[in-house]
Every structure is written in C-alpha cells, then in structure tokens.
Amino acid sequence: MLLKPSSLPARITCDPEICHGKPVIRGLRYPVEAVLEYLDGGSSIEEVLAEFPDLEREDLNACIEFAAMPARLN
C-alpha cells in the first residue's frame, strides 16, 4: 500500500544542506532518485531494505508515491 501524499513530508524532505537540496528520505543522505534507480534496476523492496538497513518499507513506498505525483497533476 502506498502512502497518501499528505504523509510524504514526514518521509521525503529537501534541504539545501543535504545532497544539494535533492529530495531525500527523512533527512538522511539517501536521495529518492537513487532509491528509485535501485527499484527500476530490478532490486526488490526487500533487497533495498537489506542493502540499506536505515531505511524502512514506508520510506520506499514514499519514494514510489513521490515519483508518481507528477502523473496525478495532469
């Protein structure tokens, strides 16, 4: 289940001092773009979680939801 857009601010943040202001997960140095690249490259959610133990399933769901937002604006 994906997160509602209203819950994204708690998971996806932008700070000019972190990763040049790119969207990251919970203020950590995990860019949303990088996580999406792992998933697009064929890694499963479980594999990404195993590779990056700081992340939670809800973080990955928020990345997917964040990526889908522009499509909803049309």
Full domain range(s) for residue 12? 5-73
Nearest alpha carbon to residue 30 among 44, 45, 12, 8: 12
What is the structure's pLDDT at 57? 95
Distances in Å between the alpha carbon of 26 and those of 29, 59, 72?
9, 8, 23
- Supply the CATH number for residue 66's domain: 1.10.10.10
What is the structure's pLDDT at 69? 79
Torsions phi, psi for 28 (to 5 deg): -80, 170
User: Structurally, how many domains does the chain consist of?
Assistant: 1
Check pLDDT > 90 for residue 4.
Answer: no
Give the separation between CA 35 and CA 52, rounded to whole angstroms.
10
How large is the average pLDDT for residues 19-34?
Answer: 94
What is the structure's pLDDT at 25? 96
Check pLDDT > 70 for residue 2.
Answer: no
Q: What element of type H or E holds 74?
A: none
Residue with tokens 């522009």: 70
